[in-house]
Structure 1
Amino acid sequence: MTVGASDHALQLRGVWLRLGHEVILRGVDLDIPHGEGVTLLGENGAGKTTLLRLLASSLRPTRGEGRVMGFDLRDSRSVRDFVHLMPVDAGLYPDLTCTENLDFALRMHGHSAEVAGALRRVGLSQAAGRRARFLSAGMRKRLALARALLLGRPVTLVDEPFANLDAPGRSLALEVLGELRAQGVTLVVAAHEPALSQQVAPRTLTLASGQLAGA
């Protein structure tokens, strides 16, 4: 089946991905409509992070084809205008403050928004001037959630959003991800906490042996 423009935000057909001598993805097919929330499950090393990076056009398929918001997956410049990837390590600039990290992300995407309000939303107002390298792991995750909310990319890919968060932090993550879904964002969440992630991303796919299975 040929991938073409459709009502799907994400599509893959027969995608294989080899990194070095290891085959990570094996003939993966995927269809995710606009605005859907998907939980991606799989054991450690199954390739969940790799699949997210591929959907964000950070990696190119070895074989097969794909489209993101109607653009060829290999057209990374166009794809990145529509996709935000929130990595498990938060992907922050360690020498920038919380405010500077958010300001920089907004400038990179040509956006303007109230950064102070976003920091307040995630409980980081008192840390606004602190460099990211001096934040705890949980605080870095909160800052990454604020960035995802500010950017509001049509496709948001989130790797382990509940890692390094206490109970209030996990509740905050659910609220932020739920707000993104309410805005019509297509959300793909790779997580080891299906009971949590399925609250905002109810469709479940499982990655095992390089292949996707699920509803």
Structure 2
Amino acid sequence: MTDEAIRTERLSKHFGRTVALEGLDLEVPRGEIFGFLGPNGAGKSTTIRLLLNLIRPTSGRAWIMGVPVGDVRAAHRHLGYVPGDVALWPQLTGMEILTYLGRLSGRVDTAYRDELIERLRLDPSLRARSYSKGNRQKVALVAAFMTRPDLLLLDEPTAGLDPLMEAEFQALTREAARRGQTVFLSSHILAEVEDVCERVGILRDGRLIEVATLADLRGLNATVYDATLDGPAPDLSDVPGVASVEPLPDGVRVTLTGPPGPLLERLAGTGLVKLRSHEPSLEEVFMTYYESPARPETGLTARLDR
């Protein structure tokens, strides 16, 4: 069996003149938790729908565990899928839905299914029509994980979950990876990705603009400076290397992608009281991609939806 859980070659999808995905070349090895990031409309869900063969590509090819995605019967044997907006049969109970889906797959670990139900605090005796969005999401998560698939395709999987259940979801994904399963996590929630993913790919307007480990992604970007000022903040827009500027109650936060000398010189002339630097969070790193004029070829023009 191939070492790649997902491989695409120049995968593209156009809807008329609208480019949803263009020239995606991506490899995700087995056993990895891979984050697939970008604002809503960037092409994340289109990519997953292509991998599921729910839509056909305009051009390019894709494979799941070495199987062409067009061979649906063979490819889907390896898959578990959680959509961002879960629709269930309203008249069935949660357990009836899980039993039905389990029979379709033919490989349910019932003990693990029951463990998942308990860990996610799902009441499977209720009819789906009574479930909240979060509980519908739990049913989909149990259905995907209970078959222990080689590849989990998760499209905004924590939508509607409370923080406690988000933490449980993160634990489940880590356990899956330790068992050798691959997790492909599509999300615009940066904290979710930062907590569990090993590498991330960043989409902008249907194009993949970066693939890197979180450590490398931070390393490619510079330092965040929190400056306490005795007076108004100066104009920093023309300072070399300044990627973003955010006002603080008593000063300014600056993300810098170059040497600090010009920034320090500008700040020193405006009543600098204190300066603290730290490694950027994933969100701060992303803002340099979205906002930096120094990266016209990769800088995203839209902020991630919150």
Q: Is the structural similarity TM-score above 0.5?
A: yes
Sequence identity percentage: 33
Residues 171-192 of structure 1 show CA distances to partners (whole Å, capped at 9, x for unaligned) of 1211222222222111111112
Cα deviation, residue 91, structure 1: 4.1
Unmatched tracts of structure 2, length 5 or more: 213-306
Matching residue of 1:108: 104
Matching residue of 1:118: 116
Please give the alpha-carbon distance, in whole angstroms, between the structure 1 residues aligned to 2:94 and 2:169. 18
Matching residue of 1:48: 44
User: 3-state DSSP class of the match of 1:40?
Assistant: strand
For the 8 Å contact 1:53–1:85, the answer to whether it is kept is: no
TM-score (structure 2 length as normaliser): 0.64
Please give the alpha-carbon distance, in whole angstroms, between the structure 1 residues aligned to 2:11 and 2:108. 36
Please give the alpha-carbon distance, in whole angstroms, between the structure 1 residues aligned to 2:53 and 2:21. 15
Q: In structure 2, do the counterparts of structure 1 residues 35 and 162 end up closer, same or farther at CA, with 3 Å as the change threshold?
A: same
Cα deviation, residue 210, structure 1: 1.4
Q: Where do 1:196-211 residues align within 5 Å?
A: 196-211=192-207
Please give the alpha-carbon distance, in whole angstroms, between the structure 2 residues aligned to 1:91 and 1:175. 25
More displaced 10-residue stretch of structure 1: 58-67 or 114-123: 114-123
**Which ranges of 4 or more aligned residues in structure 1 deviate by more than 4 Å?**
none
One-letter amino acid matched to 1:96 = L
Within the alignment, does 1:214 sit opposite 2:211 as a pair?
yes
Higher relative contact order (CA 8 A, sep 6+): 1
Residues 111-163 of structure 1 show CA distances to partners (whole Å, capped at 9, x for unaligned) of 23324433222112xx2211112111111122222222202211111111222
One-letter amino acid matched to 1:132 = A
RMSD after superposition: 1.7
For the 8 Å contact 2:41–2:205, the answer to whether it is kept is: no
Matching residue of 2:155: 159
TM-score (structure 1 length as normaliser): 0.90
One-letter amino acid matched to 2:56 = R
Could you say which structure has the larger radius of gyration?
Answer: 2
Please give the alpha-carbon distance, in whole angstroms, between the structure 2 residues aligned to 1:38 and 1:138. 23
For the 8 Å contact 1:155–1:186, the answer to whether it is kept is: yes
* 1:25 equivalent among 2, 13, 21: 21
* 1:195 equivalent among 191, 213, 220: 191
Please give the alpha-carbon distance, in whole angstroms, between the structure 1 residues aligned to 2:107 and 2:4. 25
User: 3-state DSSP class of the match of 2:14?
Assistant: strand
Q: In structure 2, do the counterparts of structure 1 residues 122 and 42 end up closer, same or farther at CA, with 3 Å as the change threshold?
A: same
Query: How many residue pairs are counted as aligned between the two chains?
Result: 209
Matching residue of 2:143: 147
Cα deviation, residue 56, structure 1: 1.9
